[in-house]
Each structure stands twice: as C-alpha cells, then as structure tokens.
Amino acid sequence: MYKKSQLNFSDFEPYIQDAIKREKNYKEDIESLKYELGSNVGILIEDMLNNK
C-alpha cells in the first residue's frame, strides 16, 4: 500500500525501466519542452542509475 509519509522505493524499483521507456514517447529536449508536452526526468533518472 502506498502512503506518502512512508514511501518505500523498493515498491517502485521494478517499474522504473518501463516508466523511462514510456517517458521517451514525449519530448525530452529542453527547448521543445517550452512549447510541447514532455519531460526530461527520464534522462535524469537514467543518469542517476548509471552513476550509482
């Protein structure tokens, strides 16, 4: 069960790669994000995972 006050990362970890794949369907470029729907959080998370 999800409780904001008791967030357990291991509950979400198996779904991270799938979420990043879905996020790639949207704009990631900073300039494009000014005018179009998107997110660059996937880039940040991938970088964090690669540097752990």
Q: pLDDT digits over 5-52, tens only? A: 888 888 888 998 899 899 889 898 889 888 999 998 888 888 988 887
Smallest CA-to-CA distance from 44 within 32, 11, 5, 30 is with 30
Residue in this structure with the two tokens 């900073």, named with its chain if needed:
30
Is residue 1 predicted with pLDDT exceeding 80?
A: no
Mean pLDDT of the residues in the chain: 87
The number of CA neighbours under 13 Å toward the Cβ of 16 is 15
pLDDT at position 35: 92
Intra-chain end-to-end CA distance of the chain, in Å: 27
19 and 49 in contact (C-beta within 8 Å)? no
**What count of other Cβ atoms lies within 10 Å of the Cβ of residue 2?**
8
